[in-house]
Structure 1
Amino acid sequence: MGRAEERRARQRGGRRAAPKRSSGAGTAAGSTTATGTGTATGTGTAAGSGTRAGTRAESRAAAAGGKAGAKKGIRRFFTWKKILGTFFGMLLLGMGAFVALYLWIDIPPGNAAAQLQSNVYKYSDGSTLTREGDVNREIVDLDKVPKKVQLTFVAAENKSFYKDAGIDFRGTARGLLNTLSGKGKQGGSTITQQYVKNYYLTQNQTVTRKLKELVISLKVDRQKSKDYILAGYINTSYYGRGAYGIQAAAQAYYQVDAKKLSVSQGAYLAALLQAPSQYDYSSATPTGKRLVKNRWNYVLNNMVEEGWLDSAKRQAMTFPKPKDPKGSAGMGGQIGYMVEAANNALAKRLVTQGTAANINDAKALVDQGGWTITLNIDKKKQAQLEKSVKAKLTSKLNGKKRKVDDAVQAGAASVDPKTGKVVALYGGVDYLKHFTNNATRRDYQPASTFKPLIFAAALDQGAKTQDDRAITANTIYDGTSGRPVKGSDIAFSPPNEDDTDYGNVTVQRAMNASINSVFAQMGVDVGMDNVLKTAGELGMDVDGLQAVPAQTLGTMGASPLEMAGVYATLDNHGRKVTPAVVASAEHKDHTVTFPSAVGEQVISEEAADTVTSVLTGVVDDGTARVSVSQAANRDGQHVAGKTGTSDNNKSAWFTGYTPNLVTSVGLFGENPKSHAQVSLQGATGLIPGVGRINGGGYPAQIWAAYTFSADTRTTKFTLDTTQGAAVEPTETPTFTRKPSETPSSTPTSEEPTTQAPSTSEAPSPSETPSRTPTPTRTPTRTPTPTLTDGLPEDPVEPNDQ
């Protein structure tokens, strides 16, 4: 038995080892078995083979064991079972938390925001200006809204509205993440969620509110019909123009009841909800108009896609431009303009301090009511400004005699340079007749009122001329009309008013006469990027402006309020003044704080004061001399200012100041029907082609009538400068070399040298005054071009008279 077992063991071992050996090895093993000695040999061979095989097996086992041990160590912490368990555990925990929230949160009653209140507006003395904000909303049943108009809102906001459970989990999750990361509001909410936010909750962007919105939306969707939710949504949404709900919106934009809205009109109102202020077609920017048209097309195309609108009818539809806005009752005259300006200022502040996520939400908060807003408007100054505009301009307009008179629009803003308070504001003839606020609109060129900013940049940055001479009030420039600017990569040769050549003139005289060719060259000398930088620091909105020489002629847009702020900064010796319409705003649910309107030094005191000194020459020796310097009630008051008349006489300006008051007056040509910009030529009976409205005319007259009555104290500028018309000149005028290629329509003096100018080149003593100007001073008049309509095409601007 022992031998048999041994034999069987050897055979088993041989069989295990055989696959590892060649066929020759097998034969040899068989041979050794036949002899006695071969047994031992065969056994040894088999044993050796088995040993090698065992060693290899052990190596493989050891390696596998090592790997298995490593895997086993990792799996102790990260196994599929543990991962799945953790995932499902978190999922169950989240579901449990949500169930708890669902059970805990009930549908609340409609919030106070759904029941709008009035806002109270006050003058700076505390007396009531007006009450405004009675709920501009009329709830209408859904059956009063055409079915296809109802569907425009579904197509715009939530195509799955009739199928979903009232929430968009992905959109809500994205909103929560954005709120936590501080990225603000994004779309994604269903119609149900938006209705819940409008009616039951608030506009505040918080995680708590979003979670409540989610739960309440689910409950509302289960407990209320889709028609009930849709009716609530279109009746509570804000459409702009102070209109809440579809009925108010239909009246505000199309002056019809909601039941008479067409599908295309409904699609516009549905598109409007995405950005009411930006998408109001009557006041939208070109970008806003393009975006709302795209949104309108999107709504209608979705309706076709969903089978709610016939494609042929869709193709036949044209964009339904809304009617011009109408102010609400009690907002007539200047009141509506002041209220609008106050509302906009408050809304911007709500966004800045984080109370509202964006300007649309902020305006909705203001329009919800409950505010007591105190303006900086001085009641007496406001009345005087209105009286001055009527006496000097509107009383002379007669649209029945002259069609152009209906196109004349006036705007003005008056600012205290020491405090930044907006003490008076003129927005137009009547808020109920002309909705656009002319005091804050930015769609007209400020023209030559921009020229002082070029000089301010030159002074503040120590700029030099092309021949390396410092730019001062006495620097000589070539005033030849149409002279190509030197040193610019962009060719620019602006003509002067009526193509008049002035020859070599000082900067002071160039400012007095508003000579285009001089300031075009100065802008290039300073560097247009530097000019725009200084303009921005002084208070102009220069975002997006190209730094090109044409900007020296004031071809950008600006408002009277904006220009009043810029000149107030100059008046305040270079300390930034940001015009403030609102003094305070109080609300039981919102705390609002307003920063000081006077900021830090943005240009040097000497630079600001030198500009002021030079601008006194415009009043006493230049384009504003007749209207301002010779005003009967000036009474020795020091005045600085600048006129401006834009290309083709579409706008005319005078922005001027005393030590205590800065006021900017603008006149704008606007077609009363199309609202397109038109020329002011021939208005008030001036002979077309001969007499035109310019900055030195009605704007300066309005300014003088208002300022010398509103600011009766006789004050003098205290200036830190040795340059300009208001002080004694202390240096010899310096020259800039006239390019040899300069064309000239009339003979000019010889090429300037570095020596003092000859009589023909140098300004007369009256052109660079040697003493502080007074009302009794009789300056020598600068060359007065003939008033004709020979105005150059864009981007060239004529000089002022």
Structure 2
Amino acid sequence: MNPYGDPQSPRARASVPGAGASAPDDQSAGPSPDAYRRGAGGRASVGSASVGSASVGSASAGRASVGGAPVGSASVGGVAGSARVGARASVGAGTGSVGGRASVARAAVRPGTATPGGPPNAPVPGGKDKKSKAAKRRRRTNILTAAAAVVVIMLGAGVVGGTYFFDDVALPPPVTENQQNAILYSNGALIEKVGDQNRTVVPEDKISDVVEKAVAGAEDKNFYNHHGIDMKGIVRAAWNNFTGGATQGASTITQQYARHAADLKAISINRKLREAVIARKLESQYDKEQIMGMYLNYVDFGEGRYGIEAAALGYFGKSVTTPPGQKNAVTPYEAAVLASIIKQPYKTGSHPGYDPNDNIVNGKVGGPALERWEYTMKNMLDMNWISQDVYDKRAYPKVKPRGAKGASSGAADKPVGMVTRHVMAELNSMGISDQEFEQGGLTITTTIDPKVQKAAEEAGSQKSDDSPMNGLNPKYQAAVIGIDPTNGRVLGYYGGDTPSGLDYGGYMSANGKEIVGGQSPGSTMKIYTLAAGLKEGVSFDSLWNGDLKRRNGTKISNAGADPGKVCGGKIKYCDLETATIKSYNFPFYWITDTIGPEKVIEAAKAAGVKHMITDEKAGFKNGEIIDLTKTDKSTWRNSFDNEVGFGQYRIPPLEHAEGVATIVGQGVHHNAHFIKTVKRTDPESGKVTVVGQENIKGNRVFEADQMSNLSAVMKKIVEVDNRDLKGGREGIAKSGTWEYQEGSGDCWFVGGTPQIAATVWVGGKGNKVQLKERDGKKDMFGAGTPSKIWKMFLDTASSALDLKNEDFPARIKTGDPSKFGNGEKPPEAPVNNDCALAVIGLGCGNNGGQNNGGQNDGGQNNGGQNNGGPNNGGNNGGQNNGGQNNGGPNNGGNGGGPGNGGNGGGNGNTGDGNAAQTNGD
């Protein structure tokens, strides 16, 4: 319905709670709240109803007979006490039968009235006569209202009974209009507005006066002079009901708001009478400005815009709070456009409505919209609310076309819109209920930096031409998350292109209530295993045996790496540092077995991981999500085994990103969060209060020296994978891959700089798939596409923020190599007695032997002992030519003779080639 109660588009009416209980109107004997507009009034008391004769009296003049005997009559009797005009009038007990007698008392009016805008009981020009006339008008209004009810009852209009007319019709409490919540970037720019209705409530005293006058001109030009009731409308409703005609009629602004406040939707005489009573009570409780403010904040202005502020922003890109005369203030002509829409904001099958965008004629606004605008402008002139000059210069203003984003544009179709889910989750954790969120009026400033957000989207989205994801299988999906490790603020978040779809970054449900999934972190989980091990005293120099099988007798997988090449042929005594850089699994299985899987999980939890998912089992199709914050170590030990040490069990990427930020932040944990501040604006006073705020206080969970030790090793991973950052910026990283159907299913690259911790995941969109690189043949690993996304994101974000280069702390070695490890004792290096020949100039064979042309410098096996060894390598197959610089994993070594020393080494030691040979990470 439109504001008049006529049927129209279902979008045209806001859903408002039903009428509430009213408070007594006779609690004060003083003047009414709107006494400065009208005289302080008396109180009308309606006596008990009974069958009998009817006569209508006056306050001082005798009795007048109305109606005939067959129907009965009502007598207006003497004074029944005093109270303000418009206050509750009591109706005595009686039957609801036709012909019942109602005894209506006269209204006693206190001396003195008030001039508009003046104090109560202020003298009025003209003296007593004018006061008396005003009092009589008010008394007549009340009497006619009650009389109309009696007439309707007498005519059999279907009203339950007239006795409730004043007493039982409660004055509903002021309606708290639902409005939108504004979600902002960290710099104050709008991300989107969220709420069922596009409404921003503004205090009445902030609304431009020209807007209020225009609305009065369009809807009720006598608004400032009457007492809320359109008696013609009431009589017309009664007559039409009696004759079987339509029941609609013109309503005052107060009546329109009364209908909204009491949620009166039915089209009936009953509704019209209740509406009239509530309007009278509203006028006694509130002044005109208050009623106008409530009305303007509720009314529908079309195109899904509720309230005057949303309308002004939507149609003109202006705010009604800008004072007249200032830049971007709403003009009288624009105000008239807004006011003219109210009567019929949406077109119907029989009427085009008054929305200017629905009334375009030959490229200009015409038709009913133009006519209604002219009507409004003329009323504004007639009421002296605009000058003749303003009227004469009138021209229909330019209106934003439908669909223009304007000031209330949203992010419903943008990747950043996914942030809203996490905002909702954090609001709940701050104690802000769903009801408060739905009520709206919140201004939420997030931690999201627009530059970092853009970098995350450009690096991770297949829709980005520059992204390493562009051109890959469309079934592939990436997630990119950037966090400030010094405070936990999420700076950029890409979890998918569609905010309404699956959240690949945090697996947060659409309503922000729960975590619904995760992905296997693979070898990136080893950062927590190392943190737990370092805490127990594990050293990076400890040795581990890769030939040992699990306790259940099965072989530990190293992504298909040739056992003879693992750790440069030292598989039985591989040091932990090399195993970390090459991402072998066996040391991490045994570290977990030694210290217990619960300690690895405890380290992950301390870093920020809160949920971990068990393997699929009976009763759990996709595994059970274990909340680590609500369970203990006994649950963990029963749910997860030693494979937790190298990333079998799924976790949400966002929680992993929080943990990565803790490692990057040298062991100080901060809660990853999306909200900086939450503010609420009081719709009545306009006062802004902070109702929620971030907590950036961190707590140390890992020792600084142990983290410097870990960072130094992770720094080498960046170098090995050839992912050095631009400008010599120092970074640390860890790659990870988890298999799927003999291929790769989840690929990761995590780490960052001292200013930004970056987490990248690539996997299947929806369902798991085997991940291939761009050629469609080569398996994808964490050191492949994910590492390229990671580098692109950090390079772009760091440059956009103009971050200065910072280094990680210098390395402090920790732990005891003899305390942990199960590796065999390495063989002692043979003593070469031929070195004595150097005295006579014949040289030594060690330069082409085990030390320089062998395991350490000639690559893992191919540039090693056999081909670059003591007999064949000599001086030319030694350190420089057959060594680590030229003798890569695949091609080096065979050419390691006296003249060629490893020139066939090629590029096998860079990035992906090396990764493929090791653990694929």
TM-score, structure 2 normalization: 0.42
Return the structure number with greater helix share.
1
Higher relative contact order (CA closer than 8 Å, sequence separation 6+): 1
